[in-house]
Structure 1
Amino acid sequence: MDHKTVHRGIAVTLFLLAEAVYLMTMAPTLSFWDCGEFIATSYTLGVPHPPGAPLFLLVGRLFSMVPFFEDIGARVNLLSTLSASATVMLTYLIIFQLITVYRKSDPRSWDDSGRLSAYGAALVGALALAFSDSFWFNAVETEVYAPSLFFTALVVWFILRWFGEESQEGNERWLMAAMYVIGLSIGVHLLSLLAIFAVIMVYYYKKYEVTVASFLVMAVAASGAFLLVYIGIIKGVPILMQQASWWGIAILLGGIVYVVYVAHIRKYRLLHTLSMSLLLLIVGYTSYALIYVRANASPSINENNPSTGEAFFAYLNREQYGELPLWPRRWSEEPIHRYFYQQYENDLDYFFRYQLSHMYLRYFGWQFIGREGDSDGTDIERADIDWTQLWALPFLVGVFGMFSHFHRDWKMGSVVTALFILTGAALVIYLNQVEPQPRERDYSYTGSFFAFAIWIGIGAENLIRLVRNIAADAQERNILSIVTLGALLLVVDGRMLYANYAVHDRSGNYVPWDWAWNMLQSCEKDAILFTNGDNDTFPLWYLQEVEGIRTDVRVVNLSLANTGWYLDQLKNTSPHGAKKIAFSLSDEELKGISFVPVQPVEVELPAGSEKEALIGEYRSADLDVPEGVVDTLRWQIEPTIIYRGRGFLRPQDFAVYQILMNNYAKRPIYFAITVGRDNLLGIDNYLRLDGLAYKVVPVESSEERVFVGTPKLWTNLCSVFRYRNLDNPDVFIEETSFRLSKNYKPLFSSLAAALAEEPGREINVRQSDGKTRRATGKELALEALDTSQEMLPLERFKMDPGIAASVVSLYVSLGEKDKTDRYIVYLERLAGATALREDPQLHYILALALREVGRTGESAAILDKLFKEIDESKIELPNQ
């Protein structure tokens, strides 16, 4: 078989292998963070958060229409799997091409061992990327990062094709194709822009003699080209449109077309290549017209509403987020409340210890050394590098490859180095990420990991070469090449596959879908639901926009409520027929909303018909009306921001006030349980726990104890909510899903505690079949505790020790002491792993739980030891 057939066959086989792995591990529906938003805006061609991803939305819309899967989210997830698989294939082709370049010979002239080592080494490097932590994570969910890296790899592949065919007629088509791809990639993500440096470096090495002066000129030219694209086109074209409307764009394109024409007629080859590349780049960038066009169509999701030139310009420039300077590096995220983090000595210390080490080098180590984690899905606050996972073999092979590359071809070695640094350490400087971040940001650096995977392939080729050179004849060389290649595939790629498969297998993980369903079902008809961030908003958008579930609930995202355009939409639009939200402010006042100076003030909110509705709800459940029912809700609003001695309300706080005052008693109002207390505007004492949301009710409760809506909460937790596969140990639950799922068990405990207060009282509750059932508080409390254990096994979903002890107390009080065993064992295991001096409260809780089940001797022994330690070391016993 000839070289071309074998080479292409390996590339296609590699694509199919990677795609098979990704399909087996792909999320069956939406995932958390931006995935729900991207699927929803792809399906509806809406406008996502700035700066948007119009080309991604267009392709995503196409995938959403093809019935590969029943679930729309899974259809769009397929876009990521195919993009990632194509990137893996391109990585193989790139590594092979780089090997060809430094061997300086046609692959058809190589002997069998030489071809085998090149094919195999490229395979090793490509599979290292395929099975790396962050790349695999991006490959199995709907995000822009897999398609973005595909475009980056495609640019690198095109420039290498030009390099190999530079002497052939018409080779400029590869340069032009690379620039067109960069233009297209802007409509997905800006990562591919950094490949401009690699393009210009390859062009320079091929066309010019390398001297110090010429190299400096090249570096300036590369930087100028990058700035031309980033500032002149990405930022400049919107300015041109803002100042001169679409006619300005037409004139610009017409001018470039004229230059292309003149260069073609007069055979100015370089000018023609440059002008045509610029034209194609701008043509690729025109995918952004989709954002403007769709914004004017007023889709349900229309973030920033970029329907005018000015708004479109602000959208593309991400003005909503503000702009952090590159120096100093330690601003906080709060725009009116900036301060320095004191745990760092200075800005350089902050950069090296947090931004470079924690936010890049740690991620790099995850890919090629190993990531600390738990295959059972236990969430950890900070995953460090774990050398036992991959034994650092991919890292060592890559480092060897880096040195080998420079030794054999320093020019191409420097190109890969530029790509590695610009998409890694240099990107750290540009991003200037503040501490703390709400999530891990490893996905930002997959371009750097891609570059290092190239070196893994080159390192593998040079290792095989060193080993086969020991052989005395061709047959021995072939045998040694095969053995070495097999060993590399096993200990590098095989180990990465084995170590990472379980924790990247999303199959069966329906937590995001179920979380959104459960939150929406927590609300009554036509409710207003305040949410906090991405994970309690975007999944809800997905269910409403894509699947048409509970479109009557109006979701109000508090982060977006800091913007006037969003409040204007809440007031004046009715997505899917949902009711508009009433405001007393005019449209202009809403659009200009800002920080509001305020002193602590008492406010009153009449309960109106909400009081009668509450009384009727409890009577229908045959329950006593709760104590504390009021005709008017009264509470004090405090400033949420203190700046230079003055108190302010954030725009979101004022929006909450406006919505409460103008909509309460007309429609139910809820806060998601993920909304922090500092976002509740002081109305804490009028909230009732109904599920994954608190309802604002005219019942004043104490601060010490949450007010539980027992009939509603029991119905939601035990009849309505979905917990698919949370009890299945064969289904991996990744960290975000696991962390949010831990919210369920405290809800069950609070419900059981409330029901146990009146164990003999009969209550009417609704079952999953829709029928009403009458049962005692004791029966329902036991069912709640049992359901909690059944759906969320303690062995998997660890509990706070105090909550576990309360469950022990509840079971005992309800006459089911035998069911406490697993909780006692759980507490004993926690205490056994923790020294008494480290956590005296844990041992105290265990002692109380043991006393509850009648093991008074063991309880007394722990307490004696505890009080002795307290007396000796002056440890202060935590309050109970």
Structure 2
Amino acid sequence: MKILEKISAFFFKHYALLTSIVVLIFYLLTLAPGVIASDSGELATVQYTLGIAHPTGYPLFTILGFIFSHLPIPLRPITKLNLLTALWSVATVYVLTITLKFLLDNILKWKSSQLTHDENFYERFLVGEKTKIISAVFGGLVFGFSKTLWFQSLSVEVYSLHIFLFSLTFHFLVKAFLEDKQETQNNYFRNKWFSAFLFLALGFTNHLSTIFIIPAFLFFYFYGWNFRRDNLKRFILYVLIGILVAGLIYLYIPLRAMTHPFLNWGNPVIFKDFFNHITGRLYHQFLFPSFGEYFSNIGKFLNSLTISFDKSEFNGSDFNIVIIFAFLGMLVSFFYFRKLFNGLILIFLTTMFITALYNIPDIDAYYLPAHFVVAIFSVIGFLYLITIKMKRRTKQIVAVSMLLISIFLEINQNYSRVDLSGHSLMDDYTLILMNSVEENSVLLSARSSFYFPSLYYQIVEGVRKDLVIAEHYLLQQKWYYTQLNKLHPGIIELRDTVAFLVYTNRNIYFSPEMLKLNLTGEVKIPSNYELAPYLFLFKLVPSKTYVKEKNIDFNFDFSKKHLFETGEIKNIVINMLLNRAVYELVYGHIDESKEKLRKLKKYFPDYEIPADLEKILNE
């Protein structure tokens, strides 16, 4: 019995840390072992080499990643950086858990003075320390095991650091709102408002979607301090300090660009290029979709708040049945804790309505602040239910049972959907592709999924550094030409914004996307040359010259259908097997053609081979 009491005492003392450790264990079990997507290849390379990432640059993310990736941990750089991504989310769970405990400790302070209710109702929220801790742990686990946060925590991306800084901003924001104004009125730098503004500024140095908390931030500040002149002066001072802090960190971008790192997107040295880079001008084309697309985006987000037990559908049901607690908590907050409700609903609605204006495929991570709010509402709903009048022992059993069942269902629903522990498609595809070509070959990409992962392998891990891998859509950019020339001098020439490949004794390969550009006339090859299918590429060869393909076996895992790269690579492999089968037929190599068709049937049994090729296979 004493052992159980000691365990219980230990849990209630270190509840936030233990909650985070539980989440970390599941994250480690599902962590990606390598490069998962094109962006993760670029971002990992930028972090490891202290480079310049695509807009908006992510300077804080880059600097912190550089430090962590060079720690003496016996892991590959990409695995270290995947781990760092998980640690940011685990830290978020810790911050959220202690924030929830603080909210519950001060729950009655959120009553609006304009609302009058039966005071007996509020007495139900005056619960014991253990009940508050169990409720806070519930909220931490709810958010930690939500599908979007869990998935974004398993491979290199900027969003886990974003939500960590968001959670710190919110933590100090609610503390500042409730702190004693008399004690802090004349102390500008030793109060929670200063900390809230500081973390808000740091958030902007990582991701501009930090703006989603601004309406709630303004509400809490001016509701708490009103618009008196002294308070406006304090506000302006904090804003100026925040701009200074963010500005100093953003200075990393032009200063580092001047040194010409391996990856130097946009070379944002002059002010115009720097401003366009940090404001994401390149992606403004994806803003302001049609009304139909806008409401479709909102519908996709709301679908993440539904209840579903279909594990094969990735895009729905982030929280499973927990959403019932969240809906109840939202209603309770609206009627009884209106000040808290107003701040939370501002974050929720701002996130939903602004994110829907941005029409990109991988938009899920932008909704994390709204999911953060859902977790808080779920705690209020959870606490409301477990404070229904019943015997104390019964109440404890009900509380623990509700927590365990809800979290179990959430984990059970999301584990297989997010699990990346055995997913190596991008690694396998990129390495096979790189190792299939001759020494010193040139590979030309056109937004191909292998481009940035291949740069990671070349620059960070030193794999096939002899290869020249170039991106067609960037070749006309002077900064990219300079970067490529630094890595591989004399291969590409830029004449009047038109890029020319210098023909040497190197073998030249086109990605399948480049073939399409060749067929439309955007990319031209000499008239006495043609493109021959070669594994997952096309080789530039003299016309009517047969090219023997290197015999490389592969067996890719296409189970993660929700990943964009999965569908892209699958289509490439299918089409290249077909192309090679036809190519072998043209040169009269029937057996070789049949071998490609057999591979097609073996790896893609559901794919319907064209009738004329099926006939040849069966002969």
- TM-score band, normalised by shorter chain: 0.7 to 0.9
Letter in 1 for 2:563: E
Equivalent of 1:583 in 493, 496, 505? 493
Q: In 1, Cα distance between the equivalents of 2:468 and 2:298?
A: 39
The number of equivalent residue pairs is 592
Contact conserved, 2:347 with 2:373, CA < 8 A, in 1? Answer: yes
Letter in 2 for 1:673: P
Contact conserved, 2:311 with 2:416, CA < 8 A, in 1? Answer: no
- The structural deviation recorded for 1:522 is 3.9
Letter in 1 for 2:25: A
- The structural deviation recorded for 1:64 is 1.2
Give the corresponding residue for 1:497.
411
List per-residue Cα deviations over 1:503-529 (Å, max 9, x = no partner). 211112111112222232344333332
Would you say 1:80 and 2:8 are equivalent positions? Answer: no
Contact conserved, 1:39 with 1:73, CA < 8 A, in 2? Answer: yes
Give the corresponding residue for 2:119.
none
Cα distance change of structure 1 residues 800 and 103 upon mapping to structure 2, 3 Å threshold: same
- The structural deviation recorded for 1:414 is 0.3
Give the corresponding residue for 1:128.
142
Give the corresponding residue for 2:177.
163
Equivalent of 2:221 in 180, 196, 203? 203
Contact conserved, 1:198 with 1:419, CA < 8 A, in 2? Answer: yes
Cα distance change of structure 1 residues 269 and 499 upon mapping to structure 2, 3 Å threshold: closer
**How do residues 647-662 of structure 1 correspond to structure 2 at under 5 angstroms?**
654-655=498-499, 658-659=500-501
Give the corresponding residue for 1:309.
271
- The structural deviation recorded for 1:121 is 2.5
Larger radius of gyration, structure 1 or 2? 1
List per-residue Cα deviations over 1:115-169 (Å, max 9, x = no partner). 3442223222222221222111111010001100110111000122223432555
Equivalent of 1:452 in 374, 387, 399? 374
Would you say 1:192 and 2:210 are equivalent positions? Answer: yes
List per-residue Cα deviations over 1:56-83 (Å, max 9, x = no partner). 1111111211243432111011111011
Equivalent of 2:69 in 64, 68, 90? 64
Equivalent of 1:689 in 533, 543, 547? 533
Equivalent of 1:145 in 117, 136, 159? 159
Equivalent of 2:543 in 696, 699, 706? 699
Would you say 1:369 and 2:307 are equivalent positions? Answer: yes
Q: In 1, Cα distance between the equivalents of 2:352 and 2:343?
A: 14
Q: In 2, Cα distance between the equivalents of 1:708 and 1:740?
A: 28
- The structural deviation recorded for 1:812 is 3.0
Give the corresponding residue for 1:403.
331
Cα distance change of structure 1 residues 463 and 110 upon mapping to structure 2, 3 Å threshold: closer
Q: In 1, Cα distance between the equivalents of 2:108 and 2:242?
A: 34
Structure 2 SS opposite 1:802: coil
Contact conserved, 1:172 with 1:273, CA < 8 A, in 2? Answer: no
Structure 1 SS opposite 2:539: strand
Would you say 1:747 and 2:586 are equivalent positions? Answer: no
Letter in 2 for 1:739: G
Letter in 1 for 2:191: R
List per-residue Cα deviations over 1:606-645 (Å, max 9, x = no partner). xxxxxxxxxxxxxxxxxxxxxxxxxxxxxxxxxxxxxxxx
Give the corresponding residue for 1:546.
460
Give the corresponding residue for 2:475.
561
- The structural deviation recorded for 1:723 is 4.3
Q: In 2, Cα distance between the equivalents of 1:567 and 1:127?
A: 48
Equivalent of 2:423 in 473, 495, 509? 509
Give the corresponding residue for 1:173.
191
Give the corresponding residue for 2:384.
462
Relative contact order (C-alpha < 8 Å, sep 6+): which is higher?
2
Equivalent pairs: percent with the same residue?
23
List per-residue Cα deviations over 1:561-597 (Å, max 9, x = no partner). 3534324544xx231xx24334362xxx33xxxxxxx
Q: In 2, Cα distance between the equivalents of 1:516 and 1:144?
A: 23
Letter in 2 for 1:201: F
Letter in 2 for 1:318: G
Contact conserved, 2:125 with 2:387, CA < 8 A, in 1? Answer: no
Cα distance change of structure 1 residues 426 and 695 upon mapping to structure 2, 3 Å threshold: same
- The structural deviation recorded for 1:311 is 2.7
- The structural deviation recorded for 1:369 is 2.7
**How do residues 637-676 of structure 1 correspond to structure 2 at under 5 angstroms?**
654-655=498-499, 658-659=500-501, 663-664=502-503, 666-675=505-514
Contact conserved, 1:29 with 1:73, CA < 8 A, in 2? Answer: yes
List per-residue Cα deviations over 1:653-676 (Å, max 9, x = no partner). x53xx33xxx23553332212446
- Structure 1 alignment gaps of length 5 or more: 209-216, 222-267, 331-349, 376-382, 591-653, 701-706, 762-776, 814-880
Q: In 1, Cα distance between the equivalents of 2:540 and 2:103?
A: 64
- The structural deviation recorded for 1:321 is 4.2
Cα distance change of structure 1 residues 477 and 183 upon mapping to structure 2, 3 Å threshold: same
Q: In 2, Cα distance between the equivalents of 1:294 and 1:117?
A: 51
Structure 1 SS opposite 2:443: strand
List per-residue Cα deviations over 1:773-807 (Å, max 9, x = no partner). xxxx74x6676566666xxx54xx4543125x677
Cα distance change of structure 1 residues 751 and 520 upon mapping to structure 2, 3 Å threshold: same
Q: In 2, Cα distance between the equivalents of 1:534 and 1:193?
A: 32
Cα distance change of structure 1 residues 115 and 555 upon mapping to structure 2, 3 Å threshold: same
**How do residues 35-50 of structure 1 correspond to structure 2 at under 5 angstroms?**
35-50=40-55
Equivalent of 1:354 in 262, 272, 293? 293
List per-residue Cα deviations over 1:471-500 (Å, max 9, x = no partner). 2xxxx134224314412431x321111011
Equivalent of 2:31 in 26, 42, 48? 26
Would you say 1:182 and 2:144 are equivalent positions? Answer: no
List per-residue Cα deviations over 1:433-487 (Å, max 9, x = no partner). 2xxx4x3321121111111121111111112123xx1x2xxxx134224314412
- Normalising by structure 1, what TM-score? 0.61
Letter in 2 for 1:182: L
- Structure 2 alignment gaps of length 5 or more: 111-122
Q: In 2, Cα distance between the equivalents of 1:14 and 1:304?
A: 42
Contact conserved, 1:526 with 1:579, CA < 8 A, in 2? Answer: no
Structure 1 SS opposite 2:542: coil
- The structural deviation recorded for 1:809 is 4.0
Cα distance change of structure 1 residues 122 and 798 upon mapping to structure 2, 3 Å threshold: farther
List per-residue Cα deviations over 1:164-186 (Å, max 9, x = no partner). 43255568532111111122222
